[in-house]
Amino acid sequence: MQGKISAHVLDAYKSAGGDSVELEPFSFTKCKTLLHEILKSGIKLRIMIDALDECDKPKELLQALKDVSQDLSRDMPDALQLLVASRHEVNVKDKFSNAVIVDLSPSVSNTDMETYIKTEVSNRPDDQRLLKGKCPEIEKMLIDILCRRAGGMYNESLNCY
Whether residue 154 has pLDDT greater than 60 = no
**pLDDT computed for residue 161 by the predictor:** 42
Whether residue 125 has pLDDT greater than 80 = yes
- Per-position DSSP letters for 105-126, written without gaps between them: -HHHHHHHHHHHHHHHHTSS-G
- Residue 81's DSSP bridge partners are 46
**pLDDT computed for residue 40 by the predictor:** 81
Cα separation of 7 and 34, whole Å? 10
How confident is the model over 140-151, as pLDDT tens digits? 888 888 887 775
Q: Is this structure's pTM higher than 0.85? A: no
Whether residue 73 has pLDDT greater than 60 = yes
Instruction: Return the closest-CA partner of residue 98 out of 121, 76, 57, 69.
Output: 69
Contacts of 96 (CB under 8 A, 6+ apart): 62, 66, 69, 82
104 vs 113, higher pLDDT: 113
- Domain boundary assignment for the chain: 7-94, 106-152
**pLDDT computed for residue 115 by the predictor:** 82
